[in-house]
């Protein structure tokens, strides 16, 4: 058996240089040694792969038609063996993806790993961040229940407020002036074809840039210390990555187990008793738009488009503004303070949105 | 001359030990928590919480010992004799209980007072600005009482770290021995401390545990949703219940048995014939 | 000394004479500078730190030590190094070019113990199983849900015998079949062929006796017998599932002919020619006094010698 495997391996190796390729992939020295702090990127890749697998499985039964989307999702939940679990895994996986994106970005930010020569990795990473959020937004509509319908309606109205292109963008997404079958078709195609293709391509580029520029390593320690602790990507970092992946996997399974997906009523243009709300990771933005300063046409533009847009632009410009080579976060007070303020802001606004529910009943 | 450990801040030292120890123990506790959940026991309350805490004790002792030795070896070039884990764990636990008690009281008071003060401030603002919108009010009120609470909490965390760091230093001073090994050698040493003496045994038992867990998972996982939608017309699987006729059943069984007996008898006959044949030969 | 670029094979000279030639260079993986050169002298390879290099010329490297000091340099432990081709260090090969030759990179101290590496490699596989294994069974069941549904044993009215004028001639009956298809309530046009059999034809069809139909558990659903002179043939060709027709053939006269692979059957359903492995499939049939025909839409697997019911 082993001999046959060896023969096949040698055959491939002779033609494409498998051994060298394998060595290149595995033997990447990690300055200062492998760390648990470096697992977030790999975990993101893992979550994405699992989302792709569960997503493909769901497409075995899902029907992207306004008449059947709700029924087929209910069919998956109630009739297909373990369908409820696959769907719930996919649902919680999307939340895990957003949490992990925040963790990954925070780690890179706090480690100062976006600085020269790794600016390109950071930029591609930001686009990936937007893609992950777009995944969440488009996937939310597909079950075609009240929650889905209303979150999408509000979300698209927000995009409509973008200057110049807003109207076009909203019509493009809705496939017309009002939500309907065309909206579902478009969201479906974006969710299952366009975004996965974009994410795969850009994640590949992200990794390629990462390998070309090399890992940043810890932000302190003498050369001797770093050298002494250095190890290769394989096996120690891979081991840490896979343990973290297993933990993520088990946590998502548990969440799916304790809190399975339950649909609301089928979507109708009457919200009835239901108070529309977006997915929890958009709640902070949603809550912010309830503030007085963001009322009126200009206020809306400010809160929904200008502030998030400028924030993203600021992130993109970060490696070019912050050019000091200092990477130690404890010597970058502005960076530490901004990160803390943003995180507290997001948490406080999310909690406010939850508290705000009391005032709606 | 002061002991080299005195040059380190106790908070930093305690943080280095406690933070890594927390994450070292985390995956094991996660598995325990998941097993409890799978058995429909909540690990955050009642018996589940007690179980989790009890199971955490040996895990934490091991984790604290491992990370403390690592920190001493790498940063202070010190080797420690004796059960570091146990000694640090109980001191940390006692300090933790004390600090937690204090924190429980202080944070509780801060929350209560903070919420009252926040409400008063909101009322005051509303007096001058009655049109204060609800969304702003919620966030403002939240900030007014969570900020002081967070500060109090942070103070207690720092207090615990400081006290724990002080105990860690005492342990180092009392039983630390300066290691003559180079930095590279010391890194190697703590790295090796993480490899089991018998890797194959560990791997095989791990694989066994995983296969068992997988089977448990398959058994526990419901095939259909545990939370069906109230309006969904669940198709009740109606098993065509065959009317059981006891007489028929008995007759059938008897017939089968008779058949089996006949077959057996035939087989025995053949066997005996074969043996006699063999003998005659 | 960071920019030393000694060439492979260039001569190495000590202050008191030539000792050998440059075999490899060793790079520092952090600074990406040459840290040592490996000098091959009398069959041994010694690693000489760059600090011992006085000057590098086109064809020779001048060391600052003498021959006696040179032989004090440690021998190269090849297994402690990997070639730059087997390790990914960005920009290393841009910085140090020693074609045709090898740049060696020291193996990190933590990677030198094989037992340690294999423990981790094993661990990775075991944890991988923790992720992969639990999904196998649920995913399999998920995919298999609609694959093995129970047979449909409903009687469907497909038309009236008044349509048939002549004996032993195939007549097509097209009918609508409605059914639940996942969440959809669908209706499809289907077709089967009926033959009003003459006594000889009927005898041929029932040459093996009555035709019995079973459900998936082996229980009898229906039995066709010779008292009914009407025979329904499934519209699915038993060769590979195409739709066949009643056609006139140049040499064989009126036959059932499948246009896909030219299987030919006579009015009794027996194969006259072509690749079909068995006769046409007979369906359960009931004919009411009014002449209404009802059938069960039984479906068999194509391409098999025996009938294997699938729906």
- Sequence ranges of the domains in chain C: 11-111, 155-296
Tell if the CB–CB gap between B199 and C122 is shorter than 8 Å. yes
pLDDT grade, residue A272 (50/70/90)? confident
Tell if the CB–CB gap between C133 and B211 is shorter than 8 Å. yes
Q: How far apart are the first and last CA of chain C?
A: 82
Kindly report the number of other CB atoms within 10 A of residue B223's CB atom. 14
Residue A289 near residue A302 (C-beta atoms within 8 A):
no
Of chain C, the percentage scoring pLDDT greater than 70 comes to: 98
Of B136, B138, B228, the CB nearest to A78: B228
- Whose tokens are 């500078």? That residue is C33
- Whose tokens are 């139909």? That residue is C213
Q: What's the CA gap between C141 and B130, in Å, rounded?
A: 61
Written as six digits, the tokens of A17 are: 């240089």
| pLDDT averaged over every residue in chain A | 94
| pLDDT averaged over every residue in chain C | 91
pLDDT per residue rounded down to tens, chain B (281 residues): 567 778 889 999 999 999 999 999 998 898 888 888 877 788 898 999 999 999 999 999 999 999 999 999 988 888 888 889 999 999 999 999 999 999 999 999 999 999 999 999 999 999 999 988 999 999 999 999 999 999 999 999 999 999 999 999 998 888 888 888 888 888 888 888 888 888 889 999 999 988 998 998 898 889 999 889 988 887 655 445 555 566 676 777 677 777 777 777 777 777 676 655 544 44
Helices (H), chain A: 2-16, 18-26, 39-59, 69-78, 83-110, 119-141, 146-160, 166-174, 181-189, 195-213, 223-229, 238-258, 283-288, 296-300, 307-321, 333-356
- Right CATH for C11-111 from 3.30.450, 2.30.29, 3.40.50, 2.30.30: 2.30.30
Q: Is residue C43 exposed (0-12), middle (13-18) or buried (19+ Cβ within 10 Å)? A: exposed
Quick check: C223 contacting B, CB < 8 Å? Answer: no
- Which chain A positions have a beta carbon within 8 Å of B139's beta carbon? 287, 348-349, 352
Residue B50 near residue B97 (C-beta atoms within 8 A):
no
Report which of residues A143 and B231 the model is more confident about. A143
Quick check: A243 contacting C, CB < 8 Å? Answer: yes
Q: What is A35-271's CATH superfamily?
A: Cytochrome Bc1 Complex; Chain C (1.20.810.10)
Mean pLDDT of A347-352: 96
Could you check whether C11-111 and C155-296 share the same CATH topology? no
Chain A interface with B: residues with Cβ < 8 Å: 33, 36, 74, 77-79, 81-85, 224-225, 227-229, 243, 247, 250-251, 253-254, 257-258, 260, 262-263, 265, 287, 290-292, 348-349, 351-352, 355-356, 359
SS3 call for A298: helix
The domain locations on chain B are 4-180
Judged against a pLDDT cut of 90, whether residue C262 lies above it is answered with yes
Task: Return the pLDDT at C1.
Answer: 40
Nearest to C108 by CA among C34, C24, C27, C29: C29
DSSP C71: T
Q: Is residue B143 exposed (0-12), middle (13-18) or buried (19+ Cβ within 10 Å)? A: middle
Q: Tell me, which fold does domain C155-296 have in CATH?
A: Rieske Iron-sulfur Protein (2.102.10)
Q: Which residues pair with C232 in a beta bridge?
A: C194, C283
The domain locations on chain A are 35-271
Q: What are phi and psi of C282, to 5 degrees?
A: -85, 140
Neighbours of chain B (3+ CB pairs under 8 A): A, C
Tell if the CB–CB gap between A81 and B225 is shorter than 8 Å. no
Q: How many helices (H) and strands (E) does chain B have?
A: 7, 2
List, in order, residues 6 or more apart from A166 with CB less than 8 Å away: A159, A160, A305
Q: What's the CA gap between B56 and B130, in Å, rounded?
A: 52
- Whose tokens are 């990677």? That residue is C111
Of C126, C133, C138, the CB nearest to B203: C126
Q: What's the CA gap between A312 and A132, in Å, rounded?
A: 14
Judged against a pLDDT cut of 90, whether residue C2 lies above it is answered with no
- Which chain C positions have a beta carbon within 8 Å of A61's beta carbon? 182
Q: What's the CA gap between A183 and A194, in Å, rounded?
A: 15
Quick check: B216 contacting C, CB < 8 Å? Answer: no
SS3 call for B86: helix
ipTM of the modeled complex: 0.90
């Amino acid at each position: 058996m082993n001999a046959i495997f060896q023969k096949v391996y040698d055959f491939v190796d002779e033609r494409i240089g498998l051994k060298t390729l394998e060595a290149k992939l595995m033997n990447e020295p990690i300055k200062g040694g492998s760390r648990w702090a470096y697992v977030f990127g790999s975990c993101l890749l893992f979550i994405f792969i699992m989302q792709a697998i569960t997503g493909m499985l769901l497409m075995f039964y899902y029907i992207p038609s306004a008449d059947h989307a709700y029924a087929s999702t209910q069919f998956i939940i109630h009739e297909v063996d373990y369908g409820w679990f696959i769907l719930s895994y996919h649902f919680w996986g999307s939340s895990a993806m957003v949490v992990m994106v925040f963790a990954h970005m925070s780690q890179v930010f706090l480690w100062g790993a976006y600085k020269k020569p790794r600016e390109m990795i950071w930029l591609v990473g930001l686009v990936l961040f937007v893609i992950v959020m777009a995944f969440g937004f488009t996937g939310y509509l597909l079950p075609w229940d009240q929650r889905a319908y209303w979150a999408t309606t509000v979300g698209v109205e927000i995009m409509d407020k973008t200057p110049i292109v807003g109207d076009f963008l909203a019509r493009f997404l809705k496939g017309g002036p009002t939500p309907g079958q065309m909206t579902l078709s478009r969201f479906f195609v974006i969710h299952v074809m366009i975004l996965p293709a974009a994410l795969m391509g850009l994640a590949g580029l992200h990794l390629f840039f990462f390998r070309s520029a090399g890992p940043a390593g810890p932000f302190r320690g003498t050369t001797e210390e770093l050298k002494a602790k250095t190890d290769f990507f394989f096996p120690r970092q891979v081991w840490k990555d896979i343990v973290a992946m297993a933990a993520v996997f088990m946590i998502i399974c548990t969440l799916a187990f304790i809190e399975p997906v339950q649909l609301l009523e089928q979507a109708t243009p009457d919200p009835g008793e239901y108070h529309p709300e977006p997915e929890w990771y958009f709640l902070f933005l949603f809550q912010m738009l309830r503030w007085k300063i963001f009322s009126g046409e200009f206020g809306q533009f400010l809160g929904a488009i200008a502030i998030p847009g400028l924030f993203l632009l600021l992130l993109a410009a970060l490696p070019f503004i912050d050019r000091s080579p200092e990477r130690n976060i404890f010597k970058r007070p502005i960076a530490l303070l901004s990160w803390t303020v943003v995180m507290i802001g997001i948490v406080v606004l999310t909690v406010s949105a939850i508290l705000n529910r009391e005032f709606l009943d | 001359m002061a002991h080299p450990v005195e040059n380190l801040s106790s908070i930093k030292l305690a943080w280095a030990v406690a933070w890594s120890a927390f994450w070292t123990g985390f995956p094991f506790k996660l598995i325990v928590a998941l097993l409890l959940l799978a058995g429909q026991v909540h690990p955050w309350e009642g018996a589940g919480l007690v179980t989790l805490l009890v199971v955490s004790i040996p895990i934490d002792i091991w984790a604290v010992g491992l990370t403390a030795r690592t920190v001493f070896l790498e940063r202070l070039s010190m080797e420690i004799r004796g059960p570091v884990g146990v000694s640090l764990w109980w001191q940390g636990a006692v300090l933790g209980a004390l600090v937690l008690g204090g924190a429980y009281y202080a944070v509780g008071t801060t929350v209560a007072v903070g919420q009252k003060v926040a409400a008063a401030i909101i009322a005051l603002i509303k007096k001058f600005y009655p049109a204060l919108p609800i969304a702003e009010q919620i966030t403002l009120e939240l900030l007014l009482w969570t900020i002081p609470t967070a500060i109090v909490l942070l103070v207690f965390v720092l207090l615990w770290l400081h006290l724990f760091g002080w105990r860690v230093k005492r342990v180092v001073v009392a039983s630390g021995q300066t290691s003559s090994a180079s930095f590279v050698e010391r890194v190697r040493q703590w790295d090796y401390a993480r490899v089991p003496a018998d890797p194959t045994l560990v791997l095989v038992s791990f694989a066994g545990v995983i296969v068992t867990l997988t089977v448990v998972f398959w058994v526990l996982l419901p095939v259909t949703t545990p939370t069906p939608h109230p309006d969904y017309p669940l198709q009740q699987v109606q098993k065509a219940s065959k009317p059981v006729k006891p007489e028929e059943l008995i007759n059938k069984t008897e017939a089968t048995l008779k058949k089996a007996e006949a077959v057996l008898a035939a087989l025995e006959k053949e066997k005996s014939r074969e043996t006699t044949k063999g003998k005659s030969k | 000394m960071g920019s030393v670029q000694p060439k492979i094979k260039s001569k190495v000279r000590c202050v008191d004479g030539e000792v050998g030639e440059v075999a490899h260079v060793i790079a520092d993986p952090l600074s990406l500078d040459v840290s040592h050169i490996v000098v091959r002298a009398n069959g041994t390879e010694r690693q000489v730190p760059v600090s011992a290099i006085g000057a590098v010329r086109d064809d020779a490297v001048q060391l600052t030590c003498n021959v006696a000091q040179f032989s004090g340099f440690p021998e190269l432990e090849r297994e402690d190094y990997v070639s730059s081709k087997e390790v990914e260090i960005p920009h290393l090969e841009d910085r140090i070019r020693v074609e045709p030759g090898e740049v060696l990179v020291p193996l990190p101290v933590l990677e030198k113990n094989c037992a340690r590496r294999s423990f981790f490699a094993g661990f990775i596989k075991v944890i991988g199983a923790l992720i992969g294994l639990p999904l196998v069974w649920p995913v399999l069941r998920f995919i298999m849900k609609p694959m093995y549904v129970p047979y449909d044993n409903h009687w469907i009215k497909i038309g009236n015998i008044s349509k048939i004028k002549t004996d032993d001639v195939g007549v097509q009956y097209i009918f609508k079949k409605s059914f639940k298809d996942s969440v959809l309530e669908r209706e499809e046009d289907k077709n089967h062929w009926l033959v009003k059999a003459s006594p000889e034809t009927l005898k041929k069809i029932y040459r093996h006796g009555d035709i019995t139909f079973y459900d998936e558990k082996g229980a009898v659903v229906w039995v066709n017998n010779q008292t009914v002179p009407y025979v329904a043939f499934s519209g699915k060709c038993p060769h590979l599932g195409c739709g066949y027709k009643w056609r006139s053939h140049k040499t064989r006269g009126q036959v059932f002919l499948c246009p896909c692979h030219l299987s030919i059957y006579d009015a009794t359903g027996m194969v006259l020619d072509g690749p079909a492995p068995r006769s046409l499939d007979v369906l359960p049939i009931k004919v009411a006094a009014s002449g209404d025909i009802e059938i069960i839409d039984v479906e068999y697997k194509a391409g098999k010698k025996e009938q294997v019911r699938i729906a």
